[in-house]
Amino acid sequence: MTDYGHPITFGLSLYPSVDGLSEMRQLARAADAAGLDYLAIQDHAYNPEFLDTWTLISFLAAETERISFVPDVADLQLRPPTILAKSAASLGVLTGGRIVLGVGGGATAGGIAAMGGVGRSGRDMVTFTEEALQIMRRALAGGVVEFRGEQNTVEGYEAGPVPPSPIPLWLGSAKPKMLAVTGRSSDGWVSPLNVYMGPRAVPAAQALIDEAARSAGREPSAVRRIYDVVGTIGDVRSGSGLIGDVDTWVDELVDYAVDLGFDTLIFWPRNEPLSQLKLFADEVVPRVRERVSERRRRA
């Protein structure tokens, strides 16, 4: 059993299609009213079907009151760390602190190159990402930022505004070297989707993060753990991801939290997102919270 003791939080992923804007607005307001903690939006700027993630978050934040937003995850290849920190800090001020900064090295090398991004890979990508986390952390704190690294140079950037509360830096990672960066330098691990990293593969990844955290003088519990869960709630006979009725979802998500160590579970509905959101928020979330509390008390 791996349980890092964080409060269990829940979110909903929005599909940022231009054609789905009306539905996204409904979903954002419904998730806010239902008491979910996060709205997550993927960042693939090279996809012509998608709205820009940061513009969309700003738009939806104005239509909600309490829910927080997280890019899941912002592409560091196309968004330089100083600009990304500026964007997050600005949103933090404008929303009263309702922003988490999820980042990653970039999923599609071809798309990144087509938009003029630098095609880093391997060691260069790992170094670039860890340097970017250091730069963003300094920039989010305000003041003058100077940094000279292998992949990044910042010469006297006067950072600001300073957000009303610290903005966590969550890192999406999958391979060993980037998982180590997650443990050393981030505030949270955004796991690949459950259809890419299934539950059986999670313990090994968690162990790498924990080892890297300890080697950097940190407690593993300093790193939150976020799982993007694709699937369908209901009597469905086929499909990818987590498929099953409410009881199945409750059982699985409780295990993800208490046995695998995830404290934040982001639902990516396969279809009918409005009705799926209602099932998730009304029937799954409260039972998972209760069951996790029970298992923690027994432990």
Q: What is the pLDDT of residue 109?
A: 77
Q: How much is the average pLDDT of 57-61?
A: 98
Q: In angstroms, what CA-CA distances link 163 with 66, 69, 187? A: 16, 14, 17
**Does some domain include residue 1?**
no
Give the integer Cα–Cα distance in Å for 277 and 281: 6
Give the tens place of pLDDT for each residue, 240-270.
Answer: 899 999 999 999 999 999 999 999 999 999 9
**Does some domain include residue 3?**
no
Q: What is the pLDDT of residue 1?
A: 64
**Does some domain include residue 2?**
no
**Does some domain include residue 181?**
yes
The parent domain of residue 282 ranges over 9-298
**Does some domain include residue 287?**
yes
Per-residue confidence band for 237, with pLDDT thresholds at 50, 70 and 90: confident
Give the tens place of pLDDT for each residue, 128-171.
Answer: 999 999 999 999 999 999 999 999 999 999 999 999 999 999 99
Give the tens place of pLDDT for each residue, 269-278.
Answer: 999 999 999 9
Q: State the CATH number of the domain containing residue 253.
A: 3.20.20.30
**Does some domain include residue 89?**
yes
Buried residues in 36-62 as b, exposed as e (16+ CB within 10 A): bbbbbbbbbbbeeebbebbebbbebbe
Q: Is the pLDDT of residue 233 over 90?
A: yes
Per-residue confidence band for 35, with pLDDT thresholds at 50, 70 and 90: very high
Length of the chain measured in residues: 299
Q: Tell me the chain's radius of gyration from C-alpha atoms.
A: 19
Helix axes 122-140, 176-185, angle to 10 degrees: 20
Structure token digits, residue 107 = 């999923």
pTM: 0.96
**Does some domain include residue 158?**
yes
Q: Is the pLDDT of residue 56 over 70?
A: yes
Mean pLDDT of the residues in the chain: 96
Q: Which range has the worst mean pLDDT, 50-54, 83-87, 118-122, 137-141?
A: 118-122
Q: What is the pLDDT of residue 141?
A: 97
Q: Which amino acid is at 257?
A: A
Q: What is the pLDDT of residue 283?
A: 98
**Does some domain include residue 49?**
yes
Q: What is the pLDDT of residue 243?
A: 96
Number of domains in the chain: 1
Work out the percent of the chain whose per-residue pLDDT is above 70: 100
Per-residue confidence band for 107, with pLDDT thresholds at 50, 70 and 90: confident
Nearest Cα to 9, choosing from 295, 289, 293? 289
